[in-house]
Structure 1
Amino acid sequence: MFPVRKLEKRMVEKVWGRDQLPAPFEAPDGKRIGEIWFEPPPEQSELLVKYLFTSEKLSVQVHPGEDAARDGEDSKEECWLVLDAQPGARLAAGFNEPITPEAMGRAAEDGTIEELLTWHEVSAGDIFHLTPGTVHAIGPGLSLVEVQQNSDTTFRLYDYGRPRELHLERALDVAVGAPFPDSCKGTVKSREPTLINGTRFRLDRIKGEPDAAVKAAYPGAALVLPLEGTVTAKDSDVCAREGECLVAPSLEALDFSAAKLTLLTRSV
């Protein structure tokens, strides 16, 4: 059994990021920070947990599943939990109508793919489960937590004229040209405590101490992300508060008495 420890953070600059971040984060002078990663520990190396902060639209993109990934590529299942949303902020996931790869390719080339995507107006507490093959994009004015398979395999279909590489051929190979399933979106109120019970990871949102059912669902290593309050190791002074993340050998190793709201996740 390993000791509870705090994960290292990495600030990642993005063209669509922000030079002013919400508390408790602070962007370095002159930097536009779009993502804050928690370095995946060996005990949960399959998962990457991060915060996202947007001031512009992200590219229209898609990730492969295990059945579609080629040598050197990794599958990627992910989810978004909306922490804060400016009025009118939106996320794109899936298409308004079924679409063929040929029509999707033409729309990506002429920029009309934005109009064919379903843009979901969102607010704090909304949750989206993005299975591989889902074409998606994130709009401006959002703060999110993203949990994903630890993969950097991303195929861009459209990037608003930015000078970045597109991957249209591979994107069309793996993209699902269909509406986003209702079963893959919801709110924390409708889903707590288990927000996502996916193929490759589980995500729970708890208030205070986890109950017996949640503890039973986390028999081994877990990543613990406090949203309000503090989570502390029982056998040391290691603790995490908002904006930090712990890896623990089990939930039994943690004291949640000072925690108000916490995210828990583990690989499956």
Structure 2
Amino acid sequence: MIHVPSIGYIFYINHMKLEPYLSTKIWGWEKWNLSCHPDGKSKIENGPYKGMYFADIVDNPESFPILIKIINSKSRLSIQVHPDDEYARIFEKDNGKSECWYILDAGENGTLVVGLKEKLSRHEIHGLIDAGVLESYLNTIDIASGDFIYIPTGTIHTINAGIRLIEVQQSSNVTYRLYDWGRPRELHIEKSLDVIDYEASAVCGKVDSFQRLKTPHFTVEKLCTKRSYEGHTEDKFHSYTVAEGSGHLVDEYGNVVELSAEDTIFIPEYMSYTIFGDMTLIKAYGY
């Protein structure tokens, strides 16, 4: 997964705190905390590779399984849907985009859209879009800080205004917009209709009492540290994003990195480490 760039002499591979790529949007902003995607690469903030793009030290960055974001919605996002791997690779030369959200702040009476209120056919959804009444058929759910929501490919969804969240997704930048509240951006009606999961075959929505979610593409866990937590990566990398609190991580070589809210750290394969502090962490790694 990780290779050592040729910079004159060899370093061991240590943990990496990441500097996000900031993407401003018409509705707010995204920080791409951990990203190998060419549309927004995060940088390494510490250690011998400080200042380099994370993608530059990863073997086959186009196959890296996850992308981690912090999303802040000042206004609501478009009504949208993401394709699966097969469709995205044929038509967009990118990966599909399953994703999940850990809610950091929902304000008062926060809501999201996840799916439709009832099963509808392609023809029926097209008719609702043409009539301008699709919004009435959207399934809106109440959310609060600490909730966890899973959005598999083919699920119509949006993030409403006033939400801040951690998103773990496949490494992809493919979004098809069905409706955008009158804003002057391109819509993708036919492609959206191509990729919607009309049978709602995948379970989506809020995950009650979330501790761990394993998807076909990645695994996400919630970890609450009290004083200290010891880990080892074995044959899979680990990443941690701080949802709440602060602390620090010490790897097996004695290297220390400070952690605070919304930081993301990457730990390569076959490394032992200890996390100190009182924190809520979102751990994500390949399937």
1:223 has 2:218 as partner:
no
Q: Which runs of 5+ in 2 are unaligned?
A: 1-11, 36-53
Match of 1:148 in 2: 169
- d(CA) in 2 for partners of 1:216 and 1:180? 35
- Asked whether the equivalents of residues 231 and 259 of structure 1 are also in contact (C-alpha less than 8 Å), the reply is no
1:9 has 2:20 as partner:
yes
1:36 has 2:47 as partner:
no
Choose from 51, 60, 77 the match for 1:58.
77
Three-state SS of the structure 2 residue aligned to 1:257 is strand
Deviation at 1:210, TM superposition (A): 4.7
| Partner AA of 1:224 in structure 2 | Y
Deviation at 1:249, TM superposition (A): 1.7
Choose from 248, 253, 264 the match for 2:272.
253
1:221-259 residue CA offsets vs partner (Å, 9 max, x unmatched):
111112222231322133332121111125853221224
Choose from 64, 68, 84 the match for 1:49.
68
Deviation at 1:47, TM superposition (A): 1.2
1:203 has 2:233 as partner:
no
TM-score (norm 2): 0.78
Between the two proteins, what is the percent identity of the paired residues? Answer: 26
TM-score (norm 1): 0.83
- Asked whether the equivalents of residues 94 and 180 of structure 1 are also in contact (C-alpha less than 8 Å), the reply is no
Aligned residues: 245
- Asked whether the equivalents of residues 151 and 204 of structure 2 are also in contact (C-alpha less than 8 Å), the reply is no
Choose from 87, 91, 98 the match for 1:68.
87
| Partner AA of 2:95 in structure 1 | D
Comparing 140-149 and 5-14, the one that deviates more:
5-14
Q: Which runs of 5+ in 1 are unaligned?
A: 18-33
Residues 77 and 124 of structure 1: CA distance in aligned 2, closer, same or farther (over 3 Å): same
Choose from 197, 206, 210 the match for 1:191.
210
- The structure showing larger relative contact order (alpha-carbon pairs under 8 Å, at least 6 residues apart) is 1
Superposed CA RMSD in Å reads: 2.3
Match of 1:117 in 2: 138
| Partner AA of 2:127 in structure 1 | R
Q: Which has the larger radius of gyration?
A: 2
Three-state SS of the structure 2 residue aligned to 1:238 is strand
- d(CA) in 1 for partners of 2:128 and 2:233? 43
Three-state SS of the structure 2 residue aligned to 1:104 is helix
1:35-89 residue CA offsets vs partner (Å, 9 max, x unmatched):
1111423447331111111121100111111233324242111001111112222
